[in-house]
Structures are given as structure tokens and as C-alpha cells.
Amino acid sequence: MQKTQKVGFFERFGLGIKGESILSRNASLFIFGVAFLWISYFTLKLIEVSDVANIGQMLLPTLVMPTILAVITLVISMMTIDREKLKKRRFGGYWKVALTGNRFGKWLIKQRWFQFVLEFPNAVFFVMVMIFGIYGYGGYIQAADAGFVNGATFLTWNVWWTGIIITFFVAGRFWCTICPLGCIGEWAHRTRAPPPVTKQNPLIFLSRVVLALFFGFVSLLIAGVTIGLFAGYSADSLLGTGTLSDNLVQALIDYTVFILNVPINLLQFELNVLLSGNPTDFLFAFFWLGATIFGLLLGLIFGYVLPEFTYASVIGTPLQQKQDPRRPYPKKLRSLWITTFLFAGIMMFDFAVGMFVNPLYTALFIVLLIALSIILGLIYERRAFCMYVCPLGGLIGVYGMTGMLEIRNRDLNVCKKCRTKDCLKGRTYTEDIDPMTGQPRVINWPSGYACPMGEFPMVMESNLGCIQCTECIKSCPNDNIDLNIRVPLVDTYTVKKHKFDQAGLAAALVGITLAVIMPSIPMVQNLLNQLNTTIQAIPFLPSFVKTFGGIAIWFGFAAFLMPIGLFFIVLYIARQISGIHTKTTKQLFSIFAYSIIPLGLAMHFSFWMVRIFEHAPSTIKVLADPFGGYFMGHRIYTDTGFVILNDPITFPVALLYAFNPLIILGVHTMDMPALVPLEFSFAFRVMAVLAGLAASIYAATRTIVLNLPEVDKAKKNLHFLIPVLIWMVFFTAAGLYSLAAQV
């Protein structure tokens, strides 16, 4: 007797039988657009009438609308799956436009100076951020609005960081292309020893001596003043001060005399501290003297070699990988877990001390990242800092998988025939035919470095490891690599090599965002207060250990245990009810965690967009007064807005202020309104989270077709996806609930 084949739920409605899409793209977009707007509207209405203080009255209704949206999105996604086209997408068969497909684009990308022109302004930007943070806002004076007045905090967290988040979906990892944090380490990595000075070049020798003296003087000034301020001394006692003339010409003369006396004043101050007999002062003097000597030596070395290594480090004479003198990065440390925990650590540090509103901590954070980048660049090959250590690199790589910008090979067959693999190893020369002799000739113009991230374009399948530096485009002898604009989200479901550390970061990013915003819920805040009270009662522990211990427990639970643990549980349930025996739960986690990247990005985006909506107009105020009204503890202008020009310590900054047209217009004393009304801001952020949910469901439906053929063949897609949808809906509702509590 012939058995009757069991018909699944979707097959009864004619879905997924023919291997082609049931709905056209235009029809599906229209249906989804109408449903999305309807769901968004009623979600806002539910949140408006709910009591945020009561989790039962708020969270449960909030679950309803994301659930409806999830079901609608799931049905439309499964009805629009075209299996044949989807499998072609995995091998690059999706819509794309090559930016290097024209003469100008190709010429521009292949220039050695192209990336440097983009990097250098950002390097200057971060140098200014460090100056604003260390020497601005009274050195260490704090106020309620410090984070939105001083240029260090405002430009870093309101402009730079929110700008990066906005660009992920459009430009992928383009920020890494122009990142000054990694590029400074790469410039250090590229340096070579300069040739010795010869007697035949006295002018070169003289120029080096002048540069060395200049950098030595600047190093002495920075080291002495900075460490003095760290130790709690005033700028007056460090530098000596007086009053400049009200006459501008005489003030310039007085200030010149003051600057010439600065080294003498610093050394005299140091001597007085040494002779004071106070052990604390003596320790400070020891560090001050050591930093000053180190600064002088650094200035001498930097000034001496500056003319020689500028070309090699900044523009660069490309090296092949086999010529790289640096050592390989330890294999045991080659994962994204370090960058995952470091990023969580940044959020924890801000949670404890408010780094995002503290100019000094923000500046020191940038200094630390640059120092790590330089040290690792001098020790290890390639950009080890960017690959394995940068606390932002993993996040940018994961979120960059959703982006619309990519670097990919044009024709796989051309790559297979290539013997040199210059895109991976680098190329130090180019060849062409001499038009006079008809013979091959070598052009000594540099080509491309070895890929700084160790990516091989022939098999590269996602943006996660590619910083889009374009070195492979310069190196490829076959002109077979393009910079493309493409459809978004492709990498989240077409990736073939699934790694557990990458999947763990993708899930943790959802949890880290929730760990930051959930304390705005009164009930959660009360629980955290009880936890903190309990920990503070533990004897024999330093207070900072107690503070960070409580925060670590909260982040361990909310950022890691909840999202990763619950995802393991739902995947185990999905594995059981769909009858999967060929893959373990850990393998399924590594596969499906990529599909939740859009949800994590949407939640991260919605949380940080409040800084744009509420504080964007303050940008003009910060441009007028980037130091926050103070320089090394001295006021730059009076309460009425008039610039003080007779203080020798603030004189150079005050002079710039006096000629700033924004200062003349009085912008620095204005109160800036929000960019948009609060209602619009909240509605926009809610819609962003719901859009992230829909995008993650879209990615999940395609992931199951491409990676679980046994499930797809058995027509059990729905059985597997329902538990995954429950996880997505739950965390979406938690995000909406937390956002509502912030309003």
C-alpha cells in the first residue's frame, strides 16, 4: 500500500512547492509597507496608554504588535523565496554596481594617496578631541552638561559614534577605511630605518636639528603641564602667570616672553617640588621628570627621522607579506571574543563613571586606543589591532555585513588562474611593455600592500573582515577586483563559513544594548539598586571593586547570559521539533546568529539616535566653543560672553575665539533646542526597531533555505523558525519597552 505523503502547513496554501516566489517583489513590498505602517501606529498607541512603571501592563501589550509584525513578515518572506535565485546569490548573483567600473573611479581608487587623503583629516580630528578633553573644561571640572558642551565628548559620542552607526547600513565598513585609530598604527607598522645623515647634506642635517628642538620643546611642555594637572597642580604654579597688556601688539610681545620663560618655569617648579621633602610630591616629580625626558627623547627621534619616514609610513612603499619583518599574531588570540569583551567593558566603564559625558576620560580613551594600535603595529604583522583587539572593530565588522558597499572579485575563474595572489600577498612593482623596444619593463611606482586584514578576495564572502582599504584593488595584476554598491543584508544569510566567535558577538550586541538601556525601567533600576546595596555591604573589598563587580554581574546576565543562553535554548527546541540530526545546537547557533544582526543594529541605532535628535543643533555651539569655556582651568570668556585676552595661559586659544564669527554672534551663550519634537523622535526609533525585526526575519527565512537543506526538503521551515521568531519578538519587545521608559 502506497503511503500518502504528508502535506505541510504552507504547502496546503501553495507556498514553497515550485521552488519559485509566489509573490512578486513589488507586490510583497506594497503588502509589507502597509502592514509595517499599520503595526508601527498601533505599537505607538499601545505604548502611550501603558504604564511604564508596571512591567505587566507594559511589556505584555508591547509583545502583541511585534508578534503580529513577525507573523506577517514571515509569511511574506516565505512566499517571496525563489530558491534558485537565492542559491545564486550565495555566489555573488545579486544586484550590484561597480564604482570602479569607470575610468575615473578606477583611477581614483588606485592612487596611493587616496586612502591617506581620507585618513588624515580624521587623524587631525582625533588629535583635536584629545586636546579638547585634556585641556578643556577646566582640565577636570565637571558639570551636568559637560558631555554636551566640551568638544571631546560631544564630537566623539554625538557626532563620530552616531555617524558611524548611521553609515553601517549604507556603507558597511567604510569607517575602517578612513579610521585614524588603526591607520596610525599601520603607519608605524610601515616605517623603516632612515639612511644615515651624510656630511654632503648640511642643510638636511640642520633641518632635522630644528625639527628635533621644536618637537622636544613641545614634548616638554605637554608632558610637564599634563602630568602637573593630573597631580592636581594649577596651571599658574606650573607655568607662572601674569596679566597681558590690553594692547594687542604689546600682548603678543608679552606672550612671546612668557613662552620663552615656560621651560625655565617648569624646571624651577620641578626643582621646588623635589626639594619640598613631601613623599607624594617627590613621587609626582619623579613621574613628571621621567615623562619630560621621554618626551624630549621622543621629540628628538621624531624630529630627526620625520623627513625620511613620512613617505614610507603615510603614503607608503608597498611591502609583500613575505617582506614584512613583523611577527605573526598569536593563534590562540585570533578570535573576536577579545573585542567583544572589550566593547562590553567600554559600556561598563561608562555605566560606572560616565565616560561618554567626561571629557578627560574620553580623551584618555582615544589616547589608549592609539597607543595600542601603534604598539601592536610595531610588533605584529598586518593590522593586528584592527583584527583582534580594537573594541569597535568587531562591532563595525558585524554590523558592516548589512551594508551596501563591498569589495569583491569580478570573475572567480580569473582568480583561479592567477598564480601570484598579489591581492593577498601584496605587489611591489607593475609591468608593462616599453613602446620603444617592445620588451617588458618594470615600473618602480609602488602598487599595493599585502591585505592588512589577511583577507583573500578570491574566497571572501562577507564584509566582516574587510576594512575596504582598497589595497587589493591596487595589487591585482588582472584588474579583477571592484568596489561595488549592492543590495543590503546579503552577507547576513549568504555567508558560508560560520564561526562561533562571530555569532557570539552578533548575539551579544543585542544584549549589550539592552544592558545599557534597560536600567531606565523603574523595576530594573530597583533591582540594580538592591544588587549594589548587597555588594557594597561585603567587607574588605575596595569600593571600585564593589562598583564594577555589580556592573559586571548585570552585564554578564543581560548582555551575555540572556541573549546567548536563550538563543541556545530556542535553537535546541527548534532542532528537536524539526528533526535535525546533522548539526549540533552550537553549529545552529553559529549559523543563525548572523540573521539577528539587523535587529541588533536597529536597537543600537535607535538608542543612539536620541543624541542626534536632541543634541544635533548644539554642534554649532561646540564649534564656537570646543573647549567648553575653560582652558587648563582658566576661563576663556566672561559670563557675559566677552573673550578674555589678557591671560597668558589662555591667550592663544582666546585669540582664536576672538576672531571666530560664531563667538562674535554669541552662539556660545545660547541654549539650543532639540532637532525634532520628542514625539517624532520616539516614533522614528520605534519604527527602526520594528524594521530591524522584519529584516532579521527576512534573513532567517533565507538562512534556513541555504544552510539547512534537510529541513527545507522536509518542508519543516515553519517548525524550525517559530522558536527563533519567539526569541526575536521577545528581545524586540524588551527594546521597545526600554525605549518607552526613557521618554
- For the chain, what is the total number of helices (H) and then of strands (E)? 34, 7
The stretch 84-92 carries a mean pLDDT of 83
Distance CA 678, CA 695 (A): 26
Same domain as 581, residue 521: yes
Residue 606 has pLDDT above 80, yes or no: yes
Same domain as 474, residue 513: no
- Which of 343, 465, 454 minimizes the C-alpha distance to 395? 343
Top pLDDT among 142 and 666 is at 666
Residue at 174 is within a domain = no
Top pLDDT among 602 and 209 is at 602
Report the chain's C-alpha Rg in angstroms: 29
Distance CA 424, CA 460 (A): 11
* φ/ψ of residue 99, rounded to 5: -70, -20
pLDDT at 200: 47
pLDDT at 148: 64
Q: In which band, very low, low, confident or very high, does the pLDDT at 708 lie, cut at 50, 70 and 90? A: confident
Residue 208 has pLDDT above 50, yes or no: yes
Range of the domain at 310: 202-316
pLDDT at 319: 65
Same domain as 580, residue 692: yes
Domain count, the chain: 3
Distance CA 168, CA 598 (A): 10
* φ/ψ of residue 699, rounded to 5: -65, -40
The stretch 479-505 carries a mean pLDDT of 92
* φ/ψ of residue 595, rounded to 5: -75, -15
Bridge partners (DSSP) of residue 482 are 408
Q: What is the dihedral of CA 435, 439, 445, 449, to 10 degrees?
A: 130
Residue 609 has pLDDT above 60, yes or no: yes
Q: In which band, very low, low, confident or very high, does the pLDDT at 699 lie, cut at 50, 70 and 90? A: very high
Distance CA 205, CA 197 (A): 7
Top pLDDT among 511 and 183 is at 511
Same domain as 696, residue 589: yes
Q: In which band, very low, low, confident or very high, does the pLDDT at 144 lie, cut at 50, 70 and 90? A: very low
pLDDT digits (tens, 9 = 90+) for 587-601: 999 999 999 999 999
pLDDT at 524: 86
Same domain as 691, residue 561: yes
Residues listed for the chain: 743
The stretch 496-521 carries a mean pLDDT of 92
Residue at 544 is within a domain = yes
- Which of 455, 458, 431 minimizes the C-alpha distance to 443? 431
Q: In which band, very low, low, confident or very high, does the pLDDT at 49 lie, cut at 50, 70 and 90? A: low
690, 38 contact by CB (below 8 A): no
Helical residues (DSSP H) of 80-160, grouped into ranges: 83-89, 103-109, 114-135, 151-153
Same domain as 561, residue 423: no
Q: In which band, very low, low, confident or very high, does the pLDDT at 197 lie, cut at 50, 70 and 90? A: very low
DSSP-derived secondary structure letter, 563: I
The stretch 561-575 carries a mean pLDDT of 93
Q: 403-435 burial string, b = 16+ CB within 10 Å, else e?
A: bbbbbbbbeeeebeebeebbbbbbbbebeeeee
Among residues 316, 346, 379, the one where a domain terminates is: 316
315, 115 contact by CB (below 8 A): no
Lowest mean per-residue pLDDT among 190-204, 248-262, 291-305, 470-484:
190-204
pLDDT at 17: 41
Top pLDDT among 5 and 100 is at 100
Cβ neighbours of 157 (radius 10 Å): 20
Grid coordinates given for 729 = 519578538
pLDDT at 727: 95
pLDDT at 689: 94
Among residues 461, 488, 515, the one where a domain terminates is: 488
Among residues 316, 335, 351, the one where a domain terminates is: 316
Same domain as 446, residue 514: no
Lowest mean per-residue pLDDT among 52-61, 77-86, 388-397:
52-61
Residue at 665 is within a domain = no
pLDDT digits (tens, 9 = 90+) for 613-650: 888 888 888 888 899 888 888 888 888 888 888 888 88
pLDDT digits (tens, 9 = 90+) for 529-557: 898 888 888 887 788 888 888 899 999 99
**Helix (H) or strand (E) segment spanning residue 481:** strand 481-486
Grid coordinates given for 290 = 621621567
DSSP-derived secondary structure letter, 451: P
Residue at 147 is within a domain = no
Same domain as 208, residue 295: yes
- Which of 638, 699, 696 minimizes the C-alpha distance to 663? 638
Same domain as 505, residue 470: no
Residue 245 has pLDDT above 50, yes or no: yes
pLDDT at 511: 94
Return the percentage of the chain with pLDDT > 90, whole number.
23
Residue 71 has pLDDT above 80, yes or no: yes
Distance CA 334, CA 347 (A): 23
Amino acid 40 reads S
396, 168 contact by CB (below 8 A): yes
pLDDT at 603: 93
Bridge partners (DSSP) of residue 490 are none
526, 130 contact by CB (below 8 A): no
3-state secondary structure 310-353: HHHHHHCCCCCHHHCCCECCCHHHCCCHHHHHHHHHHHHHHHHH
Distance CA 55, CA 60 (A): 8
369, 359 contact by CB (below 8 A): no
Distance CA 242, CA 245 (A): 10
Q: 530-555 burial string, b = 16+ CB within 10 Å, else e?
A: ebbeebeeeeeeeeeebbbbbbbebb
* Neighbour-count burial of 217, counting CB atoms closer than 10 A to its CB (0-12 exposed, 13-18 middle, 19+ buried): middle
pLDDT at 145: 52
Same domain as 481, residue 527: no
Residue at 66 is within a domain = yes
Distance CA 331, CA 327 (A): 12
**Helix (H) or strand (E) segment spanning residue 567:** helix 566-578
Grid coordinates given for 194 = 632612515
pLDDT at 57: 59
pLDDT at 54: 58
pLDDT digits (tens, 9 = 90+) for 332-388: 888 899 999 999 999 999 888 888 888 888 988 998 898 899 888 888 888 899 999
pLDDT at 304: 60
pLDDT at 12: 43
pLDDT at 312: 55
Amino acid 417 reads K
Same domain as 597, residue 450: no
* Neighbour-count burial of 19, counting CB atoms closer than 10 A to its CB (0-12 exposed, 13-18 middle, 19+ buried): middle
Distance CA 297, CA 223 (A): 12
Taken in order 14, 16, 21, 23, the sign of the CA dihedral is positive
Q: Distance of CA 224 to CAs 128, 235, 272, 292, 433, Å? A: 19, 10, 14, 6, 59
pLDDT at 578: 81
pLDDT digits (tens, 9 = 90+) for 428-481: 765 555 555 666 655 555 578 889 898 999 989 899 989 998 999 988 888 899
- Which of 585, 570, 604 minimizes the C-alpha distance to 729? 570
Residue at 141 is within a domain = no
Residue at 605 is within a domain = yes
Distance CA 592, CA 492 (A): 9
Residue at 350 is within a domain = no
* Neighbour-count burial of 625, counting CB atoms closer than 10 A to its CB (0-12 exposed, 13-18 middle, 19+ buried): buried
Same domain as 587, residue 475: no
Top pLDDT among 659 and 54 is at 659
pLDDT digits (tens, 9 = 90+) for 10-30: 544 434 444 556 677 778 888
